[in-house]
Amino acid sequence: MTAVERNTRCVVGWSVLWQQSKEAFQAVVDQSPHGTQYFSDQNQIYPSLVYYPGKLTISEGKSDTYSVEGVNAELRHYLARLVRRSRCFSRCPFALECAIKLFVYCYNSRQLYKHKYPNYASHIIDFVPT
């Protein structure tokens, strides 16, 4: 599960969930910075969560959730562990969490750089710590 801030498109919350549960989703919402507006798809769990102080809007299409859908596409593009379950998947939850943590760090660094310097090209690989 990922939570994305729409203005900068930075990942502000994420978690590796092996099963969808209200408690796991609520933990991601709680660890993320509080917003005034939350958008989600039509998953049945989202309306039962507590969003403080904001309000939840459930989107019919992708018009409100395009930011998080884009980040999810980037995750699948850069991390082979998330591409196809039948061919390549993480058997070790810790390894998957470490890979996503590194990706989120590099992705957020790139997004902030692009936000500050929109005319300069940047790639995720440029932000990998050495």
Task: Please state, rounded to an integer, the average pLDDT across all residues of the chain.
Answer: 87
Q: What is the span of the domain harbouring residue 41? A: 2-127
Domain count for the chain, please give it. 1
**Is pLDDT of 90 > 90?**
no
Residue 53: the pLDDT is: 83
**Burial state string for 48-58 with b = 16 or more CB within 10 A and e = fewer than 16:** ebebeeeeeee
Q: Which two tokens stand for residue 105?
A: 């760090």
What is the value of pTM for the model shown? 0.82
Inter-residue contact 95 to 9 (CB < 8 Å): no
| Section 94-123 average pLDDT | 93
Residue showing tokens 């910075």:
33
